Amino acid sequence: MREHYCLPYVDKWKDCQDSVQSDTSELNDLVEEIGSLRDDIKDLEASLSGTSETAEYISESLSRILGDGVLSIEVSESEGEYTVVRNGSPAENMSEGEKKLVGLLYFFSMLTGNEGAKNLATSIVVLDDVGSELDDSRLFLIDRFIVEFFDTYGLPASQFYLTHSGAYLRLLSARLGSKKLREGKSKFYEVYKAPTRRSGSEGSTRLRAWSDEAAAAPNDYSLAFYLTIENAKLMIDGLSVPLSAGNFSRKLLEGFTEFKEPQPDKVGVRVNNLVKSSDFPLGAAIPKLVNESSHSGLDKNPISWSQDLLSRSVMETLAFVKHVDPGHFAKMIAIYANESEQNQIESMVMEFLDNYSPS
């Protein structure tokens, strides 16, 4: 009898059971989708937070280095992108120095997170041509920023700097030279192009380690004078001078003539003016010779560099400085050579002057 009275409701019960199962399955799918959406929201919030923090970090650093309001960074509408802003508008016509600075600060911002800081201690940090297009005061602030960053987040396993800026080289020398050099914690190298005899070749890249004295030179002129004196010592010992000898002879001439004859812009004109005011018969031979033996002549006649040419550039440069200002010449070689070496260099220069004939 029970089955008889329940029979009309069996099909309806089965339909309800199927509906409950379907709704339960749909509910589970919705719960899973909600969980997935919540995960996406968390990821987006984390991304926005990181992007915003990066923009804030770079903007604060730009303000410290360039001054308030010069450049800042804003988060772009596009995910994970930024806009460089100048005076409230997107920055246009940014200088190469500004571009490099923003890139440098973005690089450091990547090292401020937990993962970046954790990896820093086992990493080699390479800083290529830091702020070479900026003025000396900005360079100092950039270097100060780098020092403070490593003080805050820890030193990397090694720091590797590349620069062709004389001003930044002096900053690095002051910071990494002297005591650190004596402790063997710093090394300075000169990278230069050497000519080859291969047709169409731009020359090969050479690397030369600098002595502690070269690395500690207070300015470009002192460095050029020191290395030219070192090249003269090599000549005294009958050894070959390096292919960079002409380059530093030129640097020495540039610094010396700028001090003695500051008005003309071109070093050749300054040399000629100084020669005309004396009885020394070098004339235009010096700048021509030094140009040919320095990097400025690399594209003009790359296969012409020889030991004779390089040695002559060293001797003519030293002879010129000695003739124009013998007191200054004596003081400079006294800094970079002992008494015996001084006498030998003096004798070699005098012998060169006695036998001089323009080639």
Q: Is residue 208 part of a domain?
A: no
pLDDT at position 195 is 62
Instruction: Give the pLDDT of residue 225.
Output: 94
Give yes or no for a contact between 218 and 238, defined as CB atoms under 8 angstroms apart: no
Model confidence at 284: pLDDT above 60: no
Q: 317 lies in a domain?
A: yes
**Other CB atoms within 10 A of residue 161 CB:** 19
**What φ, ψ does residue 131 adopt, rounded to 5°?**
55, 30
Distance, CA of 40 to CA of 261 (rounded, Å): 69
Q: Measure the CA–CA gap between 295 and 191, rounded to whole angstroms.
A: 12
Q: Is residue 34 domain-resident?
A: no
Cα–Cα distance list, 134 to 4, 74, 99, 142, 308 (Å): 98, 23, 11, 10, 39
Domain span including residue 331 = 215-359
Tokens 């984390």 belong to residue: 46
Say if 296 falls within a structural domain.
yes
What DSSP letter does each residue of 218-254 carry, written as one string? SSHHHHHHHHHHHHHHHHHTTPPPPTTHHHHHHHHHH
Q: Is residue 319 part of a domain?
A: yes
Of residues 207 and 345, more confidently modeled: 345
The span from the first CA to the last CA of the chain, in angstroms, equals 133
The answer to whether position 312 is within a domain reads yes
Number of domains in the chain: 1
Residues 158, 305: Cα–Cα separation, whole Å: 36
Task: Let me know if residue 95 belongs to a domain.
Answer: no
CA-based nearest residue to 154, from 122, 186, 129: 122
**Higher pLDDT, residue 128 or 284:** 128
Against a cut of 0.75, is the pTM above it?
no
Closest CA to 177 of 335, 336, 149, 169: 169
Q: Where does the pLDDT of residue 9 fall: very low under 50, low under 70, confident under 90, or very high at 90 and above?
A: low
* Residue that the structure tokens 């050099």 belong to: 181
Within 10 A of 156 (CB to CB), how many other CB atoms are there? 17
pLDDT digits (tens, 9 = 90+) for 34-93: 667 665 555 554 444 457 888 888 999 998 888 877 888 888 776 668 889 888 888 888
% of residues, the chain, pLDDT over 90: 14
Predicted confidence at residue 18, as pLDDT, reads 67
Is 139 contained in some domain? Answer: no
* The pLDDT value given to residue 302: 46
Is-contact 175 143, C-beta < 8 A?
Answer: yes
Name the pLDDT band for 340 (thresholds 50, 70, 90): very high
Q: Mean pLDDT lowest for which of 76-80, 190-194, 346-350?
A: 76-80
CA distances, 320 to each of 100, 154, 164 (Å): 40, 50, 27
* pLDDT band at residue 356 using 50, 70 and 90 as cut-offs: low
